[in-house]
Structure 1
Amino acid sequence: MKLIWSPENATKAYMDTVRSSLAAWWNAEFIVETWSQGGVTATSIGLEIASCHTCCLHVCVVPAEQSIAEFVTPMKKAGMTPEVLVGEPEEMMAGLVGIDFLVVDSKLKDFARVLRQARLSPRGAVLCARMPIQEVLLVSDGEVWIVGQDVSTSLRSPNRKIKTKKLDQDVLTHNPEHFSI
């Protein structure tokens, strides 16, 4: 058997690791993710691990009852049991208050609306996309949006290669045109 380098798989694994590491790095207290049917659970497993390290709540919003088994089965195989809520992510965000780490699946039909509906923590929040969505939102895979807190001092390390955009809560709730090209 010959091992063959797969840059595509390496990049996907790296981004899943970065997302979950960011949740622990920011000492997240409430992690929320959206998941679409047919999606992968690698990021979800990483977020659940991060939630164990920070002793926080990790909630995954799945769109339909039939999606639960598809999401929960691989999570259980990995020994993980995040809280799962069923419903449209845009609607579910209203009941999830104090989110400080949000990973949204860009396959959602109204990705920007999910971001606008999110009730973020007053201490700040980190927003991540699960895959490239440049045509929908000016966020690329691997870019992190940090909302409502001063990131200038926390990101001054020359070893950190994370692209960030600082937004305030007002941008998310009152300027929806900012999210579409």
Structure 2
Amino acid sequence: MKLVWCPETASKAYIEGVKTLAGENQHQEESTDVAEFISAMAGGWKAQLIIDAQSNSNPTNTSLALMTAARHTHGKYLCLSEGEAEPKNLMRQLQGVDYLVVDGKRRDVASVVKEARPGPRGMVVVIYNNVTKSNVVSAAVISGGMRVVRSVFLPIGDGVEVVHVGVGKGPSLEKTGRSRWIRHVDDTGEEHLFRR
């Protein structure tokens, strides 16, 4: 089995996430754009075990959006605050993680990702508030012995890195530490450069 994208569930999770965020916590400084995107991805992948590794213990827009997405996927949502006892031990105990969301403000981002135990369908790992714009998640996934199927860095908020972890062992398609420029010319003749 592998993770399969479902656009209908993604749309429902996104719309419900927008409604939830519109009615709650409008005083929060955190942007809703990232939370809505992360919620739609959780819904689209039909995540059954969603782990939210926050940098503090207060509910955030991302937390509210992920809880909403979990209702649409009929999955479980678990929040892991940085202040909790030992996140590494907690992550080791959780088997079958489909969707791991990590706040880049945490000091232990790499260790949380390394200790994650993907499910039989693979896992999607998202790090937001990635102000360094580095491939933190890809490096942690590979060093944890997992296989990277694809990864992308998106300029949403302070930066979002999304990594799709494949099932089983084997070579990763992504190589950390090496990037390259990709040139794309669209239908209008406009040239776009992407760094990968």
Q: TM-score, normalised by structure 2?
A: 0.56
Q: 2:100 aligns with which of 99, 102, 107?
A: 102
8 Å Cα contact 1:62/1:88 also seen in 2: no
Structure 2: unaligned runs, 5 residues or longer: 1-27, 139-152, 178-196
For the pair 1:144 / 2:143, whether they are aligned, the reply is: no
Distance 2:176 2:135 in 1: 10
CA offsets 1:87-134 (integer angstroms, 9 cap, x no match): 332231101110000001112222111111101112111110121142
Distance 1:24 1:145 in 2: 16
Distance 1:171 1:63 in 2: 31
Structure-2 change in CA distance of 1:89 and 1:13 (3 Å)? same
Equivalent pairs: percent with the same residue?
A: 30
Please report how far the alpha carbon of residue 169 of structure 1 lies from its aligned counterpart in structure 2 after TM superposition. 5.6
8 Å Cα contact 2:135/2:176 also seen in 1: no
Please report how far the alpha carbon of residue 40 of structure 1 lies from its aligned counterpart in structure 2 after TM superposition. 6.0
Distance 1:171 1:57 in 2: 30
Structure-2 change in CA distance of 1:122 and 1:40 (3 Å)? same
**Cα RMSD for the two superposed structures:** 3.2
Structure-2 change in CA distance of 1:147 and 1:38 (3 Å)? same
Structure 2 counterpart SS, 1:44: helix
8 Å Cα contact 2:52/2:80 also seen in 1: yes
Q: How many residues align?
A: 130
Structure 1: unaligned runs, 5 residues or longer: 1-8, 65-85, 150-167
More helix by share: 1
Partner of residue 36, structure 2: 17
Structure-2 change in CA distance of 1:169 and 1:115 (3 Å)? farther
1:102 partner letter: L
Please report how far the alpha carbon of residue 44 of structure 1 lies from its aligned counterpart in structure 2 after TM superposition. 0.4
Partner of residue 79, structure 1: none
For the pair 1:63 / 2:98, whether they are aligned, the reply is: no
CA offsets 1:7-64 (integer angstroms, 9 cap, x no match): xx9x932111000110000000000011122766000000000000111100001233
For the pair 1:43 / 2:41, whether they are aligned, the reply is: no
